Amino acid sequence: MRFPATCPRCHHTVQADYTDSGIHDLRCEQCSGAFTVYLRKHKFEMLFDLGTRALMDGYAREAVSSFAASLERFFEFYTRASALEQAAQHGEDFEVAHARLEKTWKLITAQSERQLGAFAMQYLQRQGQPPDFLTPQTLGSEFRNRVIHRGYLPPRQEVEAYAARTFALIDRLLTELGDVASHAQLEQELIYARHMAQQGDEVIAVFEEHPGMFRVRRFGSRLPPKQQANKALPATHTNDAISFQAALRERGELLGQVFKSAGMDV
Ligand SMILES: [Zn+2]
């Protein structure tokens, strides 16, 4: 999966492969200058956008695995942001808190059930409410497993419904997180800063933000600050299908442009 990057020296377009880390060390084919593109986007956003793009292009089955992976990575995002928020409240140094979190995450990284457990407890602690959406029904686990593990070929409407449900859940939790999401963003910035520090002066750093389905809702929300405080929102604050379709209308075209200009060669 690729995206077009512009050389900061001569403006030549270079095709770059999306990396897992968001760090793209590139060399321009025209002027031979080195540059690094740092993509300010989280894994869950990337995966959800890939799923949306696959759905738009008619790859309904492939879309399901991207949406499912996006939700898992979002739970990680929430857990990290929440843990870092607590560390900040205790006056801990951010780098120390990040290092501790990394060590802890290593212990649960290979087991998604452990991660889900960590998320559930963080949610309870932060919101003061049980994460009652963690049921197989709400998460669409049965559908997901049929598609991913049993080779079920779902019709588009079923995938859209699954996408809408996943979208609504992430959207709701992002709203509940509010500005706290920036703690997880800061982690990414820290990793980028470390990479930058290792590079020579000749390498130009380029920071990019690509449009996506969740872009608008990150780092603060439409809610006034008072409502952003630790209060769980009712599960019904958005209609799944309507909010997903609205986001698709608003942002789908931009999303299409980002992916299309490099070809959807997944
Ligand atoms: Zn160049």
CB 139 within 8 A of CB 240: no
Q: pLDDT value at position 140? A: 92
Q: How far is the CA of 7 from the centre of ligand 1 (A)?
A: 5
CA 193 remoteness from chain centre: 20
Q: pLDDT value at position 6? A: 94
Q: How far is the CA of 47 from the centre of ligand 1 (A)?
A: 30
Q: How far is the CA of 23 from the centre of ligand 1 (A)?
A: 18
Q: pLDDT value at position 248? A: 84
In DSSP terms, which residues pair with 207 in a beta bridge? 38
Q: pLDDT value at position 211? A: 80
> Which residue type does 34 have?
A
SS3 call for 12: coil
Enter the tokens of residue 145: 């497993």
Best CA proximity match to 6, nearest among 252, 202, 29: 29
Enter the tokens of residue 159: 């995938």
In DSSP terms, which residues pair with 26 in a beta bridge? 35
Q: How far is the CA of 22 from the centre of ligand 1 (A)?
A: 21
Residues 6+ apart with CB under 8 A from 224: none
CB 205 within 8 A of CB 38: yes
Q: pLDDT value at position 217? A: 47
Q: pLDDT value at position 215? A: 62
pTM of the predicted model as reported, rounded to 2 decimal places? 0.86
Q: Which residues of the chain have pLDDT under 70?
A: 215-238, 258-266
Q: pLDDT value at position 262? A: 53
Q: How many CB atoms lie within 10 A of CB 61?
A: 14
Q: pLDDT value at position 238? A: 57
Q: pLDDT value at position 235? A: 45
pLDDT tens sequence across 220-262: 444 344 444 444 444 445 577 788 888 888 787 777 776 665 5
CA 244 remoteness from chain centre: 16
Q: pLDDT value at position 223? A: 39
Largest CA distance in the chain: 56
